[in-house]
Amino acid sequence: MEQYEVTFAGFGGQGIMTAGQLLAYSGIKEGKQVAWMPSYGPEMRGGTAYCTVVISDKRIGSPVVTNPKCICVFNRPSFDKFGPIVKPGGLFIVNSSLINVVSDRKDFTQFLVPGNEMALMAGNAKATNVVILGAFVGASNVVKLETVTETLKEKLGKKKDMLELNLRVLKEGYDLALETLGQKDSV
Amino acid sequence: MSSNSNVIFSRPEAMHDTVTHYCPGCTHGIIHRLVAEALDELGVRDKAVGVAPVGCSVLIYNYINCDFMEAPHGRAPALATGFKRMRPDMTVFTYQGDGDLASIGMGEIVHAANRGEKFTTIFVNNAIYGMTGGQMAPTTMPQQITTTSPKGRDVSQVGYPIRMAEILSALVTPSYIERVAVHTPQHILKAKKAIYKAFKYQVEGRCYSMVEVLSTCPTNWGYTPQEATKWLADNMVPYYELKCFKDPEKTEGF
Amino acid sequence: MKGNEAIAEAAIRAGAEGYFCYPITPQSEVAEYLTKRMPEVGGVFLQGESEVAVGNMLFGAASTGKRVFTTSSSPGISLMQESISYMAGAHLPAVLVNIMRGGPGLGGILPAQSDYFQAVKGGGHGDYRLLVLAPSTVQEAVDLMMLSFDLADKYRNPVMMIGDGMIGQMMEAVEFPEEKEIKRNNPDESDWAVNGAKDRKPRIIKSLFLDPHQLEDNSWLLDDKYEQMKREEVRYELYKVNAKNKLLIVSYGTMARICQTVIDELESEGISVGLFRPITLYPYPMKELKKEAVKKNIKTVLTVEMSTAQMLEDVERSILGKKQIEFFGRTGGIVPTPDEVKSKVLELIKPKKKAKTSEKKKRGKNVK
C-alpha cells in the first residue's frame, strides 16, 4: 500500500490522541510501518489537540505531514484550522454534531458524521472518537475493521460494558461510511 | 621500639602517614583525625567513601585512608546521594567547608538532609573562605574583617551569618544534627563523641547526620593560633550555640 | 511505544541500575515511566531538587561502576554542564539524553536541534568531548540508547544521545532485544570504581591536578580516547546516495526523515538527491562525508537543520571548500515541512538566475 496520513483534531478531552493511537496499534498489528505524532505543550491545554498517524508498507520518512490525505475534525476550531490543508483528492471527516458548517472546497470528499449524536444514542458521548475512527476506517480501508476490533478488545478487555459500547459505535461509524461513500477497495 | 613499651597513642589506620598542607594552627588536621578514629572504631574504613569539597580540605583524600570522590564546589551532598543510593551498604561522608556547604551548596545540603539521605556530613565552619585567601563567607561574623568586607561584615547589606545546624534541624525529616568546636581539648573530646555518633547512626541505617565543627583559620583571620582559639571562643561560640539540635533517639515521630 | 518510554525501557534493557531526573518538558514521560519500572528491576529512581544536583548525583552514582543515566531537555542540560565536565575529567561512564527544545534561554518546548554545539563542541569547561549519538526513529533511539551504555563503559566517558522533541513524543513500533542479552555491571570487578579500600590502596575519583604536567597528561589521556573514538565509533547512514545524485543533503535526527520524504518525492519527479545522515555527531563522519561530497556528480551539498546552522560548521570542516555548501533551517520549535525543504532543493538545482549572493547572507534567512 501507498503511504497514508491521517490527522485527528479537536478539543483536549475528546479522545483525539486515543483515536490516533488505536489506529496506530491496529496498523502495527497488521505488520505495517506506523508513526504516531501528537501535538504537545500549551496547545494541549484547552486549544486544539491533534495527532497525525502515518501508515505505510515502506520505511516512513517525515512524521510531520503538511497536507495529510485525511483529516478528521471534532470541533469548529479544528474545522477552520485543518479544512484548508487536506490534500487535494483527500478525505475530510467532519463531526457534524458540533460543527454546523460545511467546507466549500470541491477538490476532496467531505464526509459528515454526527459523532456525538451516534455515541450518545449508543449510551456514552465519550465514544465519539471511536465513531469517527470507525467512519475513517470505513472510508479509507487503511486497516481492517477486524483489526481495530481486536485492538479495542486488548485495550478495553477488562471493562466489558465499555468494550461492548465501543465495538458497537465503531461498527456504526464504519457502516455509515459504507452507506454514504460506498464499498471501497482495499488501499 | 623496646619490647616492654605500650603504645597508648598512635596514628589511626584510617589516616595516611604523611604531612598535611594545612597552615600552622589550622584545626582541619584535628577534625580529619576525629573522622579517621570514628571510621576505625566502627570498623568501616574499608567500606567508606569520602566526598572531598572544594576549599582547603579538597586534598583530604591525601590524608584520610579510604576511597574518595572529589565533588564540584558545593555538590558533595549530591554526589553522596547518588553514591549511597546505588551502594547503601557503604559508609559515605561529605567533608565540607562553610563556603562549600552554606553558600554555593545550600540547595544540595538542604535537600539531601530533607530526603533523609543516609550519609554523614562533617561541616567545618571557620567563618571565612580559606583557600581563596580570606574572603567573606556566609558564616563570617558581623563586623569581621575579610578581604571582601574590609570594613567588617555589614549585616545591613549582606545579612547575618547563617546558622546551618539550626536550619537543618528545622526540617521535619528525622536526622542527627550537632554543633561542636575544636578549640580546647575538652571540646575536641565532645566533638569526637558527636562525630562517632553521626557515623554510628549512618552505619545503623537510621538517618542523615551532620556535625558542624567550629574551626579556626589563623592565617586568614590574621591571628596567632592561640589568639585564634580565643577569638573563636569569644566571638563564634556565643553566636553559634554548641549543642545537639536533633537526635533520632530524642525526636518524637511526626 | 512513545519515544520517551522506549528510551526509558531501552536503558533498563541495557542494564541501567540508576536514574536521576528533574522534570522538564518534553521528556517528563521518561521519569513517569521509570518511577514504576526501576523498582521492578531493583534499580534506583530519584527525582533531585535541580538539574545541577541531578548531574552531580549521576557523578556520585557513576563512581560506583554501575550503569546510570539521566534525561533532560535543553535548559536542564545547560545546568548539568558542570557535572559533565567533571565526569569527563574523572573518566566516568554515564549516559545523558537531551530531548532538545527551542532556545536560547527558556525558549520554547517544541522540537529543535539547537543544542548541537553544546553537545558536540563542549558545553562545559576544559579539554573534553562527549560521544554524541543522534537517532532518527524510535527504534533507533532504543538501539542507540543501549549502545550508549556500552560506549560509556568502553571509553569511561560520558555519552550523550540527542533527539528533538519529536523523537520523544512520537510513537512507533519498537523491538527490544531478548532479556538474556542484558548485562549488569559488577562494580566489584572494575579496577577503578569506588567500592571500599579493602585489601587495596584507596581509589580517588577526581579531576583536580594542581601540577600542570599531570593535568596536561590527563588531557592527553582524554584526547587518546577521542582519537580512538574517531577510529572506531563513526556511524552514519546513506539514503539513496548514487551516481545520479545532483545534490547531497546532510541532515540528522528527525530532520533527516523529513529530508527522506523530500528525496522520495523528488525521485518520483525524476530528480535524484541523496542523503548523508550522521548518526555519531561526535566523532563526526568527516572522511565519509567528504568521500561522498566530492564525487563529480554532486554539484551542491545542502545542510538541513532545526537550528540556525550549527552542524553546518562540521560539514564545512569535512568538505574544506571542495564543494558549494548551502544551508536551510528553521528553528525556535518550527519544524521545516517537506515542501519547504523541497523548494530549497529545487532552487539550488535549477537556479533562476545566477545571483552571486554570499553563502553567509542566505543562512537562516528563510523569509516566509
Angle, helix C81-89 to helix C212-232, in steps of 10 degrees:
100
pLDDT for B21: 94
Please indicate, yes or no, if residue C190 is contained in any of the structural domains: yes
Of A45-54, A133-142, A148-157, the range with the lowest mean pLDDT is A45-54
Give CA angle at B83 (B82, B85), nearest 5°.
Answer: 70
Q: Give the amino acid at B239.
A: Y
Of A103-117, B54-68, C63-77, C186-200, the range with the lowest mean pLDDT is C186-200
Residues C156 and C262 in one domain: no
Which of these three, C216, C232, C248, is where a domain ends?
C232
The average pLDDT across C305-323 equals 97
Render pLDDT for B76-105 as a digit per residue (tens, 0 to 9): 999 999 999 999 999 999 999 999 999 999
Residues C73 and C222 in one domain: yes
Render pLDDT for B199-210 as a digit per residue (tens, 0 to 9): 999 999 999 999
CATH of the domain at C32: 3.40.50.970
What's the pLDDT band for C366 if we cut at 50, 70, 90? very low
pLDDT for B6: 87
The average pLDDT across C46-72 equals 97
Render pLDDT for C134-155 as a digit per residue (tens, 0 to 9): 999 999 999 999 999 999 999 9
The average pLDDT across C185-209 equals 89
Residues C106 and C188 in one domain: yes
Of A24-38, C99-113, C170-184, the range with the lowest mean pLDDT is C170-184
* CA distances, C229 to each of B80, C66, C154, C159 (Å): 31, 22, 10, 12
Q: Tell whether the model's pLDDT for residue C364 goes beyond 70.
A: no
Contact between B124 and B97 under an 8 Å Cβ cutoff? The reply is: yes
Any B CB within 8 A of C194 CB: yes
Residues C181 and C94 in one domain: yes
Q: Tell whether the model's pLDDT for residue C106 goes beyond 80.
A: yes
Interface of A with C (CB under 8 A): 21, 24, 28, 33-38, 40-42, 59-64, 66
Please indicate, yes or no, if residue C367 is contained in any of the structural domains: no
Interface of B with C (CB under 8 A): 45-49, 51-52, 58, 61, 65-72, 75, 78-87, 90, 107-108, 111
What's the pLDDT band for B254 if we cut at 50, 70, 90? low
A31: cell is 505488520
pLDDT for C360: 45
Closest partner residue to B83 (CB to CB) among C63, C83, C203 is C63
Handedness of CA A28, C277, C31, A12 (dihedral sign): negative
Q: Tell me which of B169 and C350 has the higher pLDDT.
A: B169
What's the pLDDT band for B45 if we cut at 50, 70, 90? very high
Residues C166 and C266 in one domain: no
Render pLDDT for C8-35 as a digit per residue (tens, 0 to 9): 999 999 999 999 999 998 999 999 999 9
Superfamily of domain B28-246: Thiamin diphosphate (ThDP)-binding fold, Pyr/PP domains (3.40.50.970)
Residues of C in contact with A61 (CB under 8 A): 257-264, 338
What's the pLDDT band for C111 if we cut at 50, 70, 90? very high
What's the pLDDT band for C183 if we cut at 50, 70, 90? low
Beta bridge partners of A94: A73, A112
Q: Tell whether the model's pLDDT for residue C365 goes beyond 90.
A: no
Residues C219 and C170 in one domain: yes
pLDDT for C181: 56
The answer for residues whose C-beta is within 8 angstroms of residue A36's C-beta and 6 or more apart is A20, A21, A23, A24, A51, A52, A53, C170, C171, C172
Which of these three, C189, C217, C232, is where a domain ends?
C232
pLDDT for C359: 47
> With respect to CATH, is domain A4-181 assigned 3.40.920.10?
yes
Residues C95 and C220 in one domain: yes
What CA–CA distance (Å, rounded) separates C9 from C93? 19
Domain range enclosing C243: 237-362
What CA–CA distance (Å, rounded) separates C109 from C74? 9
Compute the nearest-CA separation of C3 from chain A (Å).
Answer: 10
Q: What percent of chain C has pLDDT over 70?
A: 92
Please indicate, yes or no, if residue C368 is contained in any of the structural domains: no
Give residue limits of the domains in chain B. 28-246
Give residue limits of the domains in chain A. 4-181
C124: cell is 562545559
The average pLDDT across C304-317 equals 97
The average pLDDT across B22-45 equals 97
Residue C359: phi and psi, rounded to 5, are: -55, -45
Q: Tell whether the model's pLDDT for residue C354 goes beyond 80.
A: no
Pairing of strands C247-250, C300-305: parallel
Which of these three, C174, C203, C232, is where a domain ends?
C232
Residues of C in contact with A41 (CB under 8 A): 25-26, 108-110
The average pLDDT across C288-308 equals 97
The total number of structural domains that make up chain C: 2
Contact between C138 and A33 under an 8 Å Cβ cutoff? The reply is: no
User: Which residue of chain A comes nearest to C167, CA vs CA?
Assistant: A37
What CA–CA distance (Å, rounded) separates C28 from C55? 16
Please indicate, yes or no, if residue C285 is contained in any of the structural domains: yes
Residues C66 and C192 in one domain: yes
- In this complex, do C109 and A37 lie within 8 Å of one another by their Cβ atoms? no
Closest partner residue to C337 (CB to CB) among A24, A33, A64 is A64
pLDDT for C187: 66
Give CA angle at B4 (B1, B6), nearest 5°.
Answer: 75
pLDDT for A13: 86
- In this complex, do B51 and C60 lie within 8 Å of one another by their Cβ atoms? yes
- In this complex, do B46 and C196 lie within 8 Å of one another by their Cβ atoms? yes
Render pLDDT for C75-101 as a digit per residue (tens, 0 to 9): 999 999 999 999 999 999 999 999 999
Residues C228 and C241 in one domain: no
Q: What percent of chain B has pLDDT over 70?
A: 97
- In this complex, do C171 and A24 lie within 8 Å of one another by their Cβ atoms? yes
Asked whether at least 3 C-beta pairs link A and B within 8 Å, the reply is: no
Contact between C3 and C163 under an 8 Å Cβ cutoff? The reply is: yes
Of B5-14, B51-60, B99-108, C14-23, the range with the lowest mean pLDDT is B5-14
The average pLDDT across C127-136 equals 98
pLDDT for C358: 46
pLDDT for C178: 72
pLDDT for B35: 98
- In this complex, do A59 and C338 lie within 8 Å of one another by their Cβ atoms? no
CATH of the domain at C265: 3.40.50.920
pLDDT for C367: 39
